[in-house]
Amino acid sequence: MTEKLVKTLRDSKVARWTVLIVVAFTMFCGYFITDVMAPLMDLLKDEFGWSATEYGIFNMAYGWLNVFLFMLIISGMILDRFGARITGIGACVLMIIGCALKYYAVSKAFEGEIFGLRTQVFIASVGFAIFALGIESAGITVTKVIARWFNGYEMALAMGIQVAVARLGTALAMSTTIPLAKHFENLSAPILFGLAALCIGLIAYLVFCVMDRKLDASEVNIQEEPEEPFRFKDIVSIIQSKGFWLIAMLCVLFYSAVFPFLKYATSLMINKYNVAPELAGNIPAILPFGTILLTPLFGGIYDKKGKGATIMMIGAAMLILIHASFSLPVLNYWWFAAALMVLLGIAFSLVPSAMWPSVPKIIPQNKLGTAYALIFWVQNIGLSLVPLLIGWVLDKFCIIGTKLSESGKEVPVYDFTLPMVIFTCFGVLALFVAILLKREDKIKGYGLEKPNIAK
């Protein structure tokens, strides 16, 4: 009896890698806007008078809908109930609306206050909150898409490539935002560029929707036991899993030491390492550029060799060393900062390459969207509160003087030692949780140390 080589569309290597390229491009566009404001902290302070605390409030808005209104968890339930096509299109539309509102806020000055915040800061924050709901919903959707299309194949490699392409969006934002703003003499110019990219990203996702519908059609004749549909009470079974919570805690601690750091990294380069503002974003851009090659590489190693929990431990340990080095009052040279960014890029590649493909080993497929949503929700707590904490710490404890900006205004000069110590503490906690996760894997037999591709 002859067995068919291609049973469903996802068994076609060309089809599943085409899907990966399409959805990764959508995430690339989204991540550009996620970090497009990160290099602008000092320019916003100069042109519109934003304080570090206001900048922290703006970044905290990332969690207004995702965390405090639990919308991200609801998005995960919608994903499991209605599928990746409807959820993904809705996420793309939210990103476009939020980005458009943020562009409007930064395109001109505003008078007055709304709810105690300056009008411009409030409008920009609302736009960022709406965008954040879209990008995080897109993130869990794309992750589940890859888990479905690459099940039994190069799942960690595929997730690593998707992360790498998304990080390329971050790198582009870090390196081009200030040059674009200065070239067009308008801080809103890079946001408008990102808005156009998001519209193209929506079109790309519609291409995926066509292919995903064809996958459904190709699975009609496959004789498999039907998957039990998601039920709302399944949330209870997810949150009762100790392995799930260890992954979630590792996620929030690790990303709290990286993404909020990137929000302030350009200012760190200007204030501590004396890098010119138009070049300061290029050093933080090293981090996402490094992940482009390394995340797929480490994902491929996990696919073939396993050792997922060990990989996460190594990445967390590196995080401690790097942030502790940033906090030292020595070697205040751009080349030293660049070298640390290279190492941070390696650490930033290690943990995600093993963390996201490990979730399907702990949580069943029909609950995966909600599980990823819950993890992203916990992660968003850190991504919302840590930037606010760092902004408050800078304004409260770290102003060491003033200097004249390019426009002739007096602006504060910050000492970043204390913020970097805070980031180091997140790394210590992340390593502790990674050790507990490896221990739990030995007890429960999740298979985190085993390869994803069966030999």
Report d(CA 358, CA 343) in Å as an integer. Answer: 23
Which tokens sit at 117? 């915040």
DSSP string, 81-144: HH-HHHHHHHHHHHHHHHHHHHHHHHTS---SEETTEEHHHHHHHHHHHHHHHHHHHHHHHHHH
pLDDT tens digit at each of 455 positions of the chain: 334 444 778 788 888 999 999 999 999 999 999 989 988 888 888 889 898 889 989 988 988 998 888 888 888 888 888 889 999 999 999 999 999 999 999 998 888 999 889 999 999 999 999 999 999 999 989 988 998 888 878 888 888 888 888 888 988 898 899 899 988 989 999 999 999 999 999 999 999 999 999 888 877 655 554 555 556 667 788 888 899 999 999 999 999 999 899 888 988 998 899 888 888 888 888 877 767 778 788 888 888 888 888 999 999 999 999 999 999 988 889 999 999 999 998 898 888 888 888 888 888 877 777 888 888 888 888 888 998 899 999 999 989 888 877 667 787 888 999 999 999 999 999 999 999 999 999 998 888 888 877 65
Which domains, and CATH codes, for the chain? 10-216+232-444 (1.20.1250.20)
Burial degree of 182 (CB within 10 A; 0-12, 13-18, 19+):
middle
81 phi and psi angles, rounded to 5 deg: -85, -40
Report in angstroms the alpha-carbon separations of 98 from 66, 173, 192, 196, 337.
Answer: 13, 17, 12, 13, 33
Report d(CA 168, CA 151) in Å as an integer. Answer: 25
Among 346, 316, 320, CA closest to 425? 320
113-114 and 399-404 beta bridge pairing: unpaired
In this structure, are residues 127 and 102 in contact, taking their beta carbons and an 8 Å threshold?
A: yes
In this structure, are residues 312 and 351 in contact, taking their beta carbons and an 8 Å threshold?
A: yes
Report d(CA 196, CA 194) in Å as an integer. Answer: 5
Report d(CA 284, CA 263) in Å as an integer. Answer: 10
In this structure, are residues 329 and 417 in contact, taking their beta carbons and an 8 Å threshold?
A: yes
Reported pTM? 0.78
Q: What angle do CA 432, 438, 443 make, to 5 degrees?
A: 125
Residue-wise pLDDT tens digits, 13-51: 888 999 999 999 999 999 999 989 988 888 888 889 898
Sign of CA dihedral 37, 25, 64, 258: negative
Residue-wise pLDDT tens digits, 168-227: 898 889 889 989 998 898 999 999 999 999 999 999 999 999 999 988 887 765 555 455
Q: Is 435 left (phi over 0), alpha (psi -120 to 50) or beta?
A: alpha
